[in-house]
């Protein structure tokens, strides 16, 4: 029998591409996309069931879960780091009360949950290169605070109530379909869009900033693979470190210039520089590899080629 899946935050950067992939693999009617404040990208509403809800409305969530007989939730609704710093209380409300609602519904209906954490759980007081799975978690942003608290909630609901919840610490995600929603790693996406549109970009972090990133296909595979892993193979219900590819902004600009001659970049660091400086350059993700076979497929050059191909196609089609 086909598993009935709901993607909360399904119109966002990750959710919209996850929806297409899950519908492709498991059938379009088996995946309910839950939208809210972001307009769905092209094809998302026509390719399978679509509803809207505010994640803070637990009754509505439960009603949809019952109506569609949902067995798995990918909970991706969140306020990200850049937006969160502008209204920290709002970020707490969406990120924590939203997660508690999902965990409560999961407890009541025995639903399996995927909830992503982030590199934002780390702060200045831990190693920044090959950051270990278990280390000091002292984030400097409200977003990071909600990710640490969220991981602990997941672990608690698993231990106390047996909720089968699984989590990863994503690095910055690079993709060409839906724009990111206001995080600190957004520059690594915007640089490609602006290179294709105008061949120039003003970057909000400096040229020496190094952060771990990941291309969308690896991000999607990680979510689907950890959800498919046998429950007893998972040694933690906190977020698993996932390393992708690490590079400086200057290296990224060079990569772009090779594919877009004459590309010009200016650096005008803003408040997100301090956030970026507090995050790891790279993470040690051996535990994800050992427990459920995690492996990065996409390297830097292949990712850049694919980004340019996709965005140039969209520009030509008038959808960029």
Ligand X SMILES: NC(=O)c1ccc[n+]([C@@H]2O[C@H](COP(=O)([O-])OP(=O)(O)OC[C@H]3O[C@@H](n4cnc5c(N)ncnc54)[C@H](O)[C@@H]3O)[C@@H](O)[C@H]2O)c1
* Tokens standing for residue 279: 């995050």
Question: With 0-12 CB in 10 A as exposed, 13-18 as middle and 19+ as buried, what is 256?
Answer: buried
* Residue whose CB is less far from ligand X, 11 or 264: 11
58's enclosing H/E stretch is helix 58-67
Those residues with Cβ within 8 angstroms of residue 54's Cβ, 6 or more apart along the chain or in another chain: 36, 60
Residue indicated by tokens 């660091």: 269
Nearer to ligand X, 36 or 312 (CB): 36
Per-residue string for binding with ligand X, 150-189, x by CB under 6 A?
A: --------------------x-xx------xx-x-x----
Q: Is 162 left (phi over 0), alpha (psi -120 to 50) or beta?
A: left
Q: Which pairing describes strands 245-248 and 210-215: parallel, antiparallel, or unpaired?
A: antiparallel
**E strand map for the chain:** 5-8, 31-35, 50-52, 72-75, 112-114, 117-118, 165-166, 168-170, 172-174, 200-203, 210-215, 240-241, 245-248, 264-267
Whether 143 is catalytic is: yes
**Window contacting ligand X (CB under 6 A); options: 4-12, 62-70, 273-281, 308-316:** 4-12
80 binds ligand X (CB under 6 A): yes
| Cα(9)–Cα(3) distance, integer angstroms | 19
- Number of residues interacting with ligand X: please give it, by CB under 6 A: 26
Residue 76 lies near ligand X (rule: CB under 6 A): yes
Name the minimum Å distance from CB 95 to ligand X: 7
Catalytic residue of the set 50, 68, 74, 143: 143
Answer yes or no whether residue 139 interacts with ligand X by CB under 6 A: no
Contact pattern for ligand X over residues 27 through 66, marking x by CB under 6 A: ---------xxx---------------xxx----------
Give the shortest CB-302-to-ligand X separation in angstroms.
Answer: 19
Binding mask 110-129 for ligand X (x = CB under 6 A): ------x-x-----------
* Cβ proximity to ligand X, 14 vs 227, nearer residue: 14
């Amino acid at each position: 029998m086909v598993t009935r899946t709901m993607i909360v935050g399904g119109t966002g950067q990750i959710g919209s591409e996850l929806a297409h992939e899950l519908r492709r693999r498991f059938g379009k009617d088996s995946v309910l996309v839950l939208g809210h404040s972001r307009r769905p990208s092209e094809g998302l509403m026509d390719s399978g069931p679509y509803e809207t809800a505010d994640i803070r409305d637990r009754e509505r969530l439960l009603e949809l879960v019952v109506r569609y007989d949902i067995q798995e939730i990918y909970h991706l609704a969140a306020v990200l780091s850049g937006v969160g710093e502008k209204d920290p209380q709002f970020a707490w409300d969406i990120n924590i009360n939203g997660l508690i609602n999902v965990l409560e519904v999961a407890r009541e209906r025995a639903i399996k949950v995927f909830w992503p954490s982030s590199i934002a759980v780390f702060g200045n007081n831990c190693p920044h290169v090959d950051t270990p799975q278990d280390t000091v978690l002292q984030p400097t942003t409200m977003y990071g605070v909600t990710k640490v608290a969220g991981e602990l909630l997941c672990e608690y609901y698993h231990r106390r109530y047996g909720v089968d919840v699984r989590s990863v610490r994503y690095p910055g995600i690079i993709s060409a379909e839906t724009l990111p929603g206001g995080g600190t790693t957004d520059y690594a996406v915007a640089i490609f869009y602006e290179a294709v549109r105008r061949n120039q970009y003003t970057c909000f972090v400096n040229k020496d900033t190094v952060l771990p990133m990941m291309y969308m296909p690896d991000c999607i595979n990680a979510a689907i693979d950890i959800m498919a892993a046998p429950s007893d193979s998972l040694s933690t219900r906190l977020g698993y470190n996932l390393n992708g590819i690490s590079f400086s902004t200057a290296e990224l600009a060079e990569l772009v210039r090779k594919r877009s001659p004459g590309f010009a970049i200016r650096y005008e660091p803003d408040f997100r520089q301090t956030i970026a400086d507090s995050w790891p350059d790279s993470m040690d993700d051996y535990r994800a590899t050992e427990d459920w076979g995690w492996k990065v497929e996409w390297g830097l050059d292949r990712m850049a080629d694919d980004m340019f191909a996709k965005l140039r196609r969209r520009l030509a089609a008038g959808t960029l």
